[in-house]
Protein backbone atom coordinates (compact mmCIF):
# COMPACT_ATOMS: atom_id res chain seq x y z
CA UNK A 1 0.00 0.00 0.00
CA UNK A 2 1.49 3.34 -1.02
CA UNK A 3 1.88 6.31 1.31
CA UNK A 4 -0.91 8.31 -0.32
CA UNK A 5 -3.51 5.55 0.19
CA UNK A 6 -2.40 5.03 3.79
CA UNK A 7 -2.67 8.74 4.49
CA UNK A 8 -6.22 8.82 3.03
CA UNK A 9 -7.26 5.84 5.18
CA UNK A 10 -5.93 7.52 8.35
CA UNK A 11 -7.69 10.79 7.50
CA UNK A 12 -10.94 8.91 6.80
CA UNK A 13 -10.69 7.02 10.10
CA UNK A 14 -10.26 10.24 12.09
CA UNK A 15 -13.09 11.90 10.15
CA UNK A 16 -15.43 9.04 11.00
CA UNK A 17 -14.43 9.23 14.66
CA UNK A 18 -14.75 12.99 15.14
CA UNK A 19 -17.45 13.92 12.60
CA UNK A 20 -19.65 10.84 12.26
CA UNK A 21 -19.42 8.84 15.49
CA UNK A 22 -18.43 9.78 19.02
CA UNK A 23 -17.72 7.36 21.87
CA UNK A 24 -19.27 7.51 25.35
CA UNK A 25 -19.00 5.31 28.42
CA UNK A 26 -22.16 4.64 30.45
CA UNK A 27 -21.36 5.67 34.03
CA UNK A 28 -24.60 4.81 35.86
CA UNK A 29 -27.23 2.08 35.99
CA UNK A 30 -30.15 4.38 35.13
CA UNK A 31 -30.69 2.68 31.75
CA UNK A 32 -30.63 -0.95 32.92
CA UNK A 33 -31.51 -3.26 31.31
CA UNK A 34 -30.91 -1.55 27.95
CA UNK A 35 -27.49 -0.11 28.82
CA UNK A 36 -25.15 -1.41 31.50
CA UNK A 37 -22.71 0.61 33.58
CA UNK A 38 -19.40 0.36 31.74
CA UNK A 39 -20.90 0.02 28.26
CA UNK A 40 -18.65 1.70 25.68
CA UNK A 41 -20.96 2.96 22.97
CA UNK A 42 -20.98 5.25 19.97
CA UNK A 43 -23.55 7.86 19.01
CA UNK A 44 -24.40 9.12 15.55
CA UNK A 45 -22.64 12.50 15.75
CA UNK A 46 -23.55 13.22 12.12
CA UNK A 47 -27.01 14.20 13.37
CA UNK A 48 -25.54 17.21 15.18
CA UNK A 49 -22.37 18.39 13.44
CA UNK A 50 -20.83 21.24 11.50
CA UNK A 51 -23.47 20.54 8.86
CA UNK A 52 -26.28 21.47 11.26
CA UNK A 53 -28.50 19.87 13.87
CA UNK A 54 -30.57 17.15 12.22
CA UNK A 55 -31.52 15.15 15.30
CA UNK A 56 -35.25 14.69 15.72
CA UNK A 57 -35.65 11.90 18.29
CA UNK A 58 -38.56 9.53 17.91
CA UNK A 59 -40.53 8.48 20.95
CA UNK A 60 -38.84 5.43 22.41
CA UNK A 61 -35.38 6.25 21.02
CA UNK A 62 -32.29 6.24 23.27
CA UNK A 63 -30.63 9.66 23.08
CA UNK A 64 -27.47 11.38 24.33
CA UNK A 65 -27.95 14.99 25.46
CA UNK A 66 -26.43 17.68 27.65
CA UNK A 67 -27.84 17.87 31.19
CA UNK A 68 -29.97 21.05 31.14
CA UNK A 69 -29.39 22.23 34.73
CA UNK A 70 -25.60 22.58 34.50
CA UNK A 71 -24.73 26.27 34.78
CA UNK A 72 -22.09 26.31 32.03
CA UNK A 73 -22.19 26.64 28.24
CA UNK A 74 -24.13 23.88 26.52
CA UNK A 75 -21.08 22.16 25.03
CA UNK A 76 -19.48 21.91 28.49
CA UNK A 77 -22.50 20.40 30.22
CA UNK A 78 -22.42 16.79 31.45
CA UNK A 79 -23.71 14.23 28.95
CA UNK A 80 -26.71 12.09 29.94
CA UNK A 81 -28.15 9.12 28.08
CA UNK A 82 -31.85 8.38 28.53
CA UNK A 83 -34.86 7.22 26.55
CA UNK A 84 -37.04 9.83 24.85
CA UNK A 85 -40.57 9.22 26.14
CA UNK A 86 -42.14 12.52 25.08
CA UNK A 87 -41.64 14.58 21.91
CA UNK A 88 -42.78 18.16 21.22
CA UNK A 89 -46.57 18.46 21.34
CA UNK A 90 -47.11 15.28 23.40
CA UNK A 91 -48.95 15.13 26.70
CA UNK A 92 -47.67 12.27 28.84
CA UNK A 93 -48.96 10.57 31.98
CA UNK A 94 -46.96 8.15 34.14
CA UNK A 95 -49.03 5.56 35.99
CA UNK A 96 -47.44 2.80 38.08
CA UNK A 97 -44.09 3.89 36.67
CA UNK A 98 -45.14 3.30 33.06
CA UNK A 99 -46.29 5.57 30.26
CA UNK A 100 -47.76 2.71 28.25
CA UNK A 101 -48.07 -1.06 28.49
CA UNK A 102 -45.57 -1.60 25.63
CA UNK A 103 -42.60 -0.61 27.81
CA UNK A 104 -41.32 -4.14 28.28
CA UNK A 105 -37.65 -3.09 28.58
CA UNK A 106 -38.02 -1.14 31.83
CA UNK A 107 -37.39 -2.36 35.36
CA UNK A 108 -38.44 -1.54 38.92
CA UNK A 109 -37.40 -2.34 42.47
CA UNK A 110 -39.08 -5.38 43.99
CA UNK A 111 -39.10 -7.04 47.40
CA UNK A 112 -38.86 -10.78 46.76
CA UNK A 113 -39.89 -13.29 49.41
CA UNK A 114 -37.66 -16.38 49.05
CA UNK A 115 -39.14 -19.01 51.40
CA UNK A 116 -36.94 -21.83 50.09
CA UNK A 117 -33.67 -19.83 50.12
CA UNK A 118 -33.17 -20.40 46.42
CA UNK A 119 -31.78 -17.01 45.37
CA UNK A 120 -28.04 -16.42 45.27
CA UNK A 121 -25.71 -14.18 43.30
CA UNK A 122 -24.69 -16.97 40.91
CA UNK A 123 -28.33 -17.27 39.80
CA UNK A 124 -28.78 -13.51 39.67
CA UNK A 125 -25.62 -12.95 37.62
CA UNK A 126 -26.75 -15.62 35.19
CA UNK A 127 -29.95 -13.66 34.42
CA UNK A 128 -28.09 -10.33 34.35
CA UNK A 129 -29.34 -8.96 37.70
CA UNK A 130 -26.68 -6.90 39.44
CA UNK A 131 -28.50 -4.27 41.51
CA UNK A 132 -29.88 -4.93 44.97
CA UNK A 133 -29.16 -7.29 47.82
CA UNK A 134 -30.45 -9.61 50.54
CA UNK A 135 -32.36 -8.16 53.49
CA UNK A 136 -33.91 -10.13 56.36
CA UNK A 137 -36.14 -13.20 56.63
CA UNK A 138 -34.86 -14.57 53.29
CA UNK A 139 -36.09 -11.47 51.47
CA UNK A 140 -34.26 -9.65 48.68
CA UNK A 141 -34.60 -6.17 47.19
CA UNK A 142 -33.72 -6.33 43.50
CA UNK A 143 -34.15 -4.16 40.41
CA UNK A 144 -35.89 -6.40 37.87
CA UNK A 145 -37.41 -6.38 34.40
CA UNK A 146 -40.41 -8.50 33.39
CA UNK A 147 -38.06 -10.92 31.62
CA UNK A 148 -35.93 -11.35 34.74
CA UNK A 149 -39.02 -11.94 36.90
CA UNK A 150 -40.10 -14.71 34.53
CA UNK A 151 -36.64 -16.28 34.78
CA UNK A 152 -36.85 -16.32 38.58
CA UNK A 153 -40.36 -17.77 38.54
CA UNK A 154 -39.03 -20.63 36.42
CA UNK A 155 -36.57 -21.41 39.22
CA UNK A 156 -39.11 -21.40 42.05
CA UNK A 157 -42.81 -20.63 41.69
CA UNK A 158 -43.05 -19.87 45.42
CA UNK A 159 -41.24 -16.53 45.06
CA UNK A 160 -43.49 -13.59 45.99
CA UNK A 161 -42.82 -10.27 44.23
CA UNK A 162 -43.86 -6.89 45.66
CA UNK A 163 -43.31 -3.93 43.35
CA UNK A 164 -42.08 -0.89 45.34
CA UNK A 165 -44.36 1.56 43.54
CA UNK A 166 -45.08 4.80 45.37
CA UNK A 167 -48.68 5.45 46.40
CA UNK A 168 -50.74 7.49 43.96
CA UNK A 169 -51.48 10.08 46.70
CA UNK A 170 -47.87 10.40 47.89
CA UNK A 171 -46.27 13.76 47.05
CA UNK A 172 -42.55 13.57 46.28
CA UNK A 173 -40.88 16.98 46.57
CA UNK A 174 -37.93 15.75 44.47
CA UNK A 175 -40.09 15.53 41.34
CA UNK A 176 -40.28 18.44 38.92
CA UNK A 177 -41.59 21.09 39.43
CA UNK A 178 -41.67 20.53 43.24
CA UNK A 179 -45.10 22.16 43.32
CA UNK A 180 -47.54 21.24 46.11
CA UNK A 181 -50.40 21.99 43.69
CA UNK A 182 -49.30 18.88 41.77
CA UNK A 183 -49.32 15.76 43.93
CA UNK A 184 -46.84 13.90 41.73
CA UNK A 185 -44.15 11.33 42.43
CA UNK A 186 -41.78 9.16 40.36
CA UNK A 187 -44.46 6.49 39.66
CA UNK A 188 -47.55 8.70 39.30
CA UNK A 189 -46.65 11.78 37.28
CA UNK A 190 -48.51 14.19 35.03
CA UNK A 191 -50.36 14.86 32.84
CA UNK A 192 -47.68 17.18 31.49
CA UNK A 193 -47.57 18.89 28.08
CA UNK A 194 -44.24 18.82 26.19
CA UNK A 195 -43.74 22.26 24.56
CA UNK A 196 -43.53 22.49 20.78
CA UNK A 197 -42.04 25.38 18.80
CA UNK A 198 -44.80 27.75 17.65
CA UNK A 199 -47.46 26.27 19.94
CA UNK A 200 -49.36 28.63 22.23
CA UNK A 201 -50.70 27.58 25.63
CA UNK A 202 -52.63 29.35 28.35
CA UNK A 203 -50.45 30.52 31.24
CA UNK A 204 -51.83 30.81 34.77
CA UNK A 205 -50.68 30.41 38.40
CA UNK A 206 -51.64 26.72 38.28
CA UNK A 207 -49.21 25.78 35.47
CA UNK A 208 -46.52 28.48 35.53
CA UNK A 209 -44.22 26.30 37.66
CA UNK A 210 -44.01 23.80 34.78
CA UNK A 211 -42.84 26.32 32.19
CA UNK A 212 -41.13 29.03 34.21
CA UNK A 213 -37.61 27.73 33.60
CA UNK A 214 -38.26 27.43 29.87
CA UNK A 215 -39.53 30.98 29.62
CA UNK A 216 -36.89 32.53 31.89
CA UNK A 217 -33.73 30.53 31.18
CA UNK A 218 -34.05 28.79 27.82
CA UNK A 219 -36.06 31.51 26.05
CA UNK A 220 -34.67 34.56 27.90
CA UNK A 221 -37.69 36.38 29.30
CA UNK A 222 -38.50 37.78 32.73
CA UNK A 223 -41.42 36.44 34.75
CA UNK A 224 -43.28 37.84 37.71
CA UNK A 225 -46.25 36.21 39.42
CA UNK A 226 -48.43 38.86 41.05
CA UNK A 227 -51.47 37.36 42.76
CA UNK A 228 -53.48 35.88 39.85
CA UNK A 229 -51.53 37.75 37.17
CA UNK A 230 -48.54 36.46 35.18
CA UNK A 231 -46.19 39.15 33.86
CA UNK A 232 -43.71 38.28 31.10
CA UNK A 233 -41.27 41.08 30.29
CA UNK A 234 -43.39 43.33 32.55
CA UNK A 235 -46.60 42.72 30.57
CA UNK A 236 -49.64 40.87 31.89
CA UNK A 237 -50.20 37.80 29.72
CA UNK A 238 -52.67 34.93 29.59
CA UNK A 239 -50.80 32.84 27.03
CA UNK A 240 -47.29 32.01 25.82
CA UNK A 241 -45.91 30.82 22.47
CA UNK A 242 -42.85 28.58 22.70
CA UNK A 243 -39.83 29.38 20.55
CA UNK A 244 -38.10 26.00 20.76
CA UNK A 245 -38.93 22.30 20.83
CA UNK A 246 -38.52 20.33 24.06
CA UNK A 247 -38.29 16.66 24.98
CA UNK A 248 -39.04 14.49 28.01
CA UNK A 249 -36.43 11.85 28.92
CA UNK A 250 -36.65 8.91 31.34
CA UNK A 251 -34.34 6.10 32.33
CA UNK A 252 -35.35 2.48 31.79
CA UNK A 253 -34.37 1.68 35.38
CA UNK A 254 -37.32 3.70 36.64
CA UNK A 255 -36.51 3.59 40.37
CA UNK A 256 -32.83 4.47 39.89
CA UNK A 257 -32.93 7.25 37.32
CA UNK A 258 -32.80 10.99 37.85
CA UNK A 259 -34.48 12.22 34.69
CA UNK A 260 -37.13 14.62 33.38
CA UNK A 261 -39.42 13.59 36.23
CA UNK A 262 -36.89 15.29 38.52
CA UNK A 263 -35.44 18.17 36.47
CA UNK A 264 -37.87 18.89 33.66
CA UNK A 265 -37.62 19.33 29.92
CA UNK A 266 -34.64 18.96 27.57
CA UNK A 267 -34.34 21.82 25.04
CA UNK A 268 -33.72 20.79 21.44
CA UNK A 269 -30.37 22.61 21.34
CA UNK A 270 -29.12 20.32 24.17
CA UNK A 271 -29.53 17.16 22.10
CA UNK A 272 -26.36 15.43 20.88
CA UNK A 273 -27.43 12.37 18.91
CA UNK A 274 -29.24 9.06 18.98
CA UNK A 275 -27.28 6.14 20.41
CA UNK A 276 -26.23 3.63 17.79
CA UNK A 277 -24.42 0.59 19.17
CA UNK A 278 -22.62 -0.81 22.23
CA UNK A 279 -19.06 -1.75 21.25
CA UNK A 280 -18.31 -3.68 24.45
CA UNK A 281 -18.48 -3.32 28.23
CA UNK A 282 -15.20 -2.09 29.71
CA UNK A 283 -16.01 -3.21 33.29
CA UNK A 284 -17.34 -6.72 32.67
CA UNK A 285 -16.44 -7.97 29.23
CA UNK A 286 -19.10 -10.27 27.79
CA UNK A 287 -19.96 -11.44 24.30
CA UNK A 288 -23.56 -10.41 25.11
CA UNK A 289 -22.49 -6.75 25.07
CA UNK A 290 -20.21 -7.03 22.01
CA UNK A 291 -21.48 -4.92 19.09
CA UNK A 292 -24.96 -4.89 20.60
CA UNK A 293 -27.57 -2.78 18.82
CA UNK A 294 -29.34 -0.28 21.09
CA UNK A 295 -33.12 -0.60 20.95
Positions annotated as catalytic residues are 30, 82
d(CA 190, CA 216): 22
d(CA 46, CA 51): 8
Q: How many CB atoms lie within 10 A of CB 65?
A: 26
d(CA 184, CA 176): 8
d(CA 78, CA 75): 8
Name residues whose C-beta falls within 8 Å of residue 222's C-beta, 6 or more positions apart in sequence. 216, 231, 232, 233, 234
What's the chain's length in residues?
295
d(CA 83, CA 156): 33
Q: How many CB atoms lie within 10 A of CB 110?
A: 22
Dmax (CA) of the chain: 77
Q: State residue 280 phi and psi, 5-degree precision.
A: -170, 175
Torsion angle, alpha carbons of 60, 65, 69, 73, to 10: -160
Amino acid sequence: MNTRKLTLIVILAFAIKFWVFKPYVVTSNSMDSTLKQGDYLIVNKWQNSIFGNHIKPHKGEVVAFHYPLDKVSIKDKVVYIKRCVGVPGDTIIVRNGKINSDEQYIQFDFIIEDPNSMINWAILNNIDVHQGGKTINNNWILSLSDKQIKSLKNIDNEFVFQNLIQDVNQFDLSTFPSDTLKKWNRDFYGPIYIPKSGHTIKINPENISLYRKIIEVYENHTIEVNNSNILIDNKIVESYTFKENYYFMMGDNRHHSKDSRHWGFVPEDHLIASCAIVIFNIEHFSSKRLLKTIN
